[in-house]
């Protein structure tokens, strides 16, 4: 059942990415940066619901499925996928370090704080990868902050959507199981 959710989440990631491009193409600053990026919240949702291992796996699989669609079947594309998987892990680690407790996805404040940490961490790891591997992705000086803003916007929308999703009994059961780990 868990592997089915990983596959479903991976496909949902691709679909949400493509939907984001379609709905918000005017907010896209480059192929990697949009001022509203809805899949940012799905990366967090993956690790919150599926756990860090399977949630990260879902994000990575979704990212690898996107590579041909983005015409990025190269080392830089792989680095972008790995950064996408790493951002939520860094955020969860820092949230636990900062808050000295686990994240409670039923608390909107926790989701927003996690989202802020994630948005910064995601932009940071992507930009470090671009500096090291693909300087052509560094187009202008403010893009780091624009990426943070796009992820924050996606996470805020997602946080409120997640607030409603966690009330679904199956999801609530999974969250309760994660709390026991």
Could you tell me which of 151, 155, 139 has the C-alpha nearest to residue 30? 139
b (16+ CB within 10 A) / e for 104-133:
ebeeeebbebbbbbbbbbbbbbbbebbeee
pLDDT in tens, 83-112: 999 999 999 999 999 888 888 877 878 888
In a domain, 61, yes or no: yes
pTM of the model: 0.86
pLDDT in tens, 14-61: 999 999 999 999 998 887 899 999 999 999 999 988 999 999 999 999
Burial bucket for residue 80 (CB in 10 Å: 0-12, 13-18, 19+): buried
> How many domains, in total, are found in the chain?
1
What integer is the mean pLDDT of 140-161?
A: 91
In a domain, 133, yes or no: yes
Expressed as residue numbers, the domain containing 93 is 2-23+34-179
Distance CA 29, CA 47 (A): 27
CATH of the domain at 103: 1.10.1760.20
- CB atoms under 10 Å from CB of 100, counted, come to 7
């Amino acid at each position: 059942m868990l592997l089915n959710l990983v596959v479903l989440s991976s496909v949902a990631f691709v679909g949400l990415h493509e939907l984001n491009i379609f709905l918000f193409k005017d907010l896209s600053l480059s192929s990697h940066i949009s001022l509203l990026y809805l899949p940012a919240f799905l990366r967090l949702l993956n690790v919150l619901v599926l756990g860090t291992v399977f949630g990260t796996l879902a994000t990575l699989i979704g990212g690898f499925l996107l590579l041909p669609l983005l015409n990025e079947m190269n080392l830089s594309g792989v680095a972008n996928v790995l950064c996408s998987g790493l951002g939520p892990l860094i955020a969860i680690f820092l949230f636990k370090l900062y808050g000295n407790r686990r994240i409670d996805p039923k608390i909107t404040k926790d989701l927003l704080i996690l989202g802020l940490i994630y948005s910064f961490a995601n932009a940071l790891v992507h930009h470090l990868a671009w500096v090291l591997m693909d300087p052509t992705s560094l187009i202008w000086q403010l893009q780091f902050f624009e990426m943070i803003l796009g992820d924050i916007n996606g996470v805020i929308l997602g946080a409120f959507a997640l607030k409603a999703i966690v009330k679904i009994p199956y999801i609530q059961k999974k969250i309760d199981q994660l709390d026991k780990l």
